[in-house]
Chain A
């Protein structure tokens, strides 16, 4: 299942003094099975863009084409699109409302009109996918859980609809470093296990650079670059000007190179950096 975004522009509150162009002329193709990172500074239009992917926002101009069909044409039902494209909002735990975890996760599948056995099967699967023990947690109130657990329940609520494309808006916002690493690892596992197409939205390169296959960079409502993370980091200066850093290890390697050391800057993780530095040192006969 592929999504094609074509010349997408969105203007908030048009024809009022508060008119603002949130995103302009975005072109983006997401192919089946890809793992995308969508990155940009706060207010760059990331959230506006992803709300178009499942038809929550209607484009001011341009189109969203899913499986060859414009999602706002008459033959396409938005309800089906929202089931296929699962969208997890920022701070998704703020949307919890049911008395028990089980009922809350069941909200999505129930809206799809599935039979009861299918719903409880999906709820169980979804909770286990996000690493929560179904039996122990299903009858608890979502409001007595810890922050990290609440977020997992909310993500499970979207997974229970069995989307083919999963879009997550800042899934690690407000979590401690450990919770952040756990959620990111779970997303990587989920993608593998379920063969999902994933779009991960973030403002932190550190978080997503090493796990995604492709990066799209937003700046002031425009998509300024897209491609392989390593290629994108070559424009270090440009990224800094756009208020985005690059991962600290990559920055370190670029600085080493700037000091005349003969190292490659094509580095994303600490392990890669270690290997590269050792290699350089050996070449000089120092290690």
Chain B
């Protein structure tokens, strides 16, 4: 239960940690677009080097970064295999009614590389950005769209609260699970239907406590006169600094390099 690493934040004070969350979100978005804009293997040198550079600067251990890939190995393999079989072209090997083509292998390899780089890149974002500053960044990035009716502040507040309560609920689940196991409950064996039934002693208390917490939180927010949106000031103003500008500049160079490789 506590071993989930996707979306986890590792506190730190590295250069990457200190970047403005808006910079990190925008660069990650551009990085994702770049991954899909590249069409030859040389081009991928640019995002790979960029990612390695960012990882070194973030001081996040590589082992931990790659751990996020583990649950997705299956999807990556499946993408690779499907692509190798599905795309028509020069046949390399025949496997009954299925053909493995050269074009398919290339396409499959592209997709696998893209997925791996995509996941590691976005993991680096969440590993180095606390959920609070992440939602702060999203709120600020969405605020120009307020004029067309996007409730940017409310969305960000909902995300903040949801993220804030994930660890709390996991802890609560762990506790209730143990309490019921101490009374002889069994969550691990039996067939599917029995297992689902056995979850009742876990889910009922969990829901009750989630509602109680939501109620308390709403009360506490109202007691402090919270009323979203307009004219709220904030404790931590986001400010772009020199390192943010430098990050954009460096990334642009890498992106240009990558795009240029299309015309090799």
Residues in chain A within 8 A of chain B (CB atoms): 12-13, 16-17, 51, 54, 56, 79, 82-83, 86-87, 89, 92, 94-97, 107-108, 111-112, 143, 157-158, 161
A265 to chain B, nearest CB (A): 39
Pairwise interchain contact A56-B181, C-beta atoms closer than 8 A: yes
Give residues 1-36 of B contacting A (CB, 8 Å): 2-3, 10
Select which of A16, A17, A82, A143 is within 8 A of B182 by beta carbon. A82
Q: A17-B61, A51-B178 are in contact. Are A107 and B183 (CB under 8 A)?
A: yes
Within the assembled complex, what's the spacing in Å between the Cα atoms of A271 and B192?
60
Give residues 168-209 of B contacting A (CB, 8 Å): 175-176, 178-186, 200-201, 204-205, 208-209
Q: A89-B175, A107-B201 are in contact. Are A95 and B180 (CB under 8 A)?
A: yes
Q: A13-B2, A111-B186 are in contact. Are A97 and B204 (CB under 8 A)?
A: yes
Pairwise interchain contact A111-B10, C-beta atoms closer than 8 A: no
Residues of B within 8 A of A112 (CB): 184
Within the assembled complex, what's the spacing in Å between the Cα atoms of A51 and B178?
9
- 10 A-B residue pairs with CB within 8 Å: A89-B178, A94-B175, A94-B209, A95-B180, A97-B200, A97-B204, A107-B183, A111-B185, A158-B182, A161-B183
Select which of B64, B175, B204, B209 is within 8 A of A16 by beta carbon. B64
Q: A16-B64, A17-B10, A17-B61 are in contact. Are A89 and B182 (CB under 8 A)?
A: yes
Within the assembled complex, what's the spacing in Å between the Cα atoms of A82 and B180?
11
Residues of A within 8 A of B175 (CB): 89, 94
User: What 0/1 readout, one digit per residue, does chain B (35-53) give for beta carbons within 8 Å of chain A?
Assistant: 0000000000000000000
B100 to chain A, nearest CB (A): 39
Q: Across the A-B interface, give the 5 residue pairs with the lowest CB-CB distance, nearest first.
A: A111-B184, A97-B204, A108-B183, A95-B179, A87-B182
Pairwise interchain contact B178-A56, C-beta atoms closer than 8 A: yes
Residues in chain B within 8 A of chain A (CB atoms): 2-3, 10, 61, 64, 175-176, 178-186, 200-201, 204-205, 208-209
Pairwise interchain contact B184-A83, C-beta atoms closer than 8 A: yes
B135 to chain A, nearest CB (A): 22
Within the assembled complex, what's the spacing in Å between the Cα atoms of A96 and B205?
6
Within the assembled complex, what's the spacing in Å between the Cα atoms of A17 and B3?
12
Pairwise interchain contact B184-A79, C-beta atoms closer than 8 A: yes
Residues of A within 8 A of B209 (CB): 94
Residue ID in chain A nearest B203 by CB atoms: A97
Residues of B within 8 A of A94 (CB): 175-176, 179, 205, 208-209
Residue ID in chain A nearest B202 by CB atoms: A97
Residue ID in chain A nearest B212 by CB atoms: A94
From B10, B184, B205, residue with most partner A Cβ within 10 Å: B184
B213 to chain A, nearest CB (A): 11
Q: A17-B10, A96-B205, A111-B184 are in contact. Are A89 and B64 (CB under 8 A)?
A: no
Residues of B within 8 A of A13 (CB): 2-3
B183 to chain A, nearest CB (A): 4
Within the assembled complex, what's the spacing in Å between the Cα atoms of A5 and B28?
51
Pairwise interchain contact B205-A95, C-beta atoms closer than 8 A: yes
Pairwise interchain contact A111-B183, C-beta atoms closer than 8 A: yes
A161 to chain B, nearest CB (A): 7
Residues of A within 8 A of B208 (CB): 94, 143
Pairwise interchain contact A82-B64, C-beta atoms closer than 8 A: no
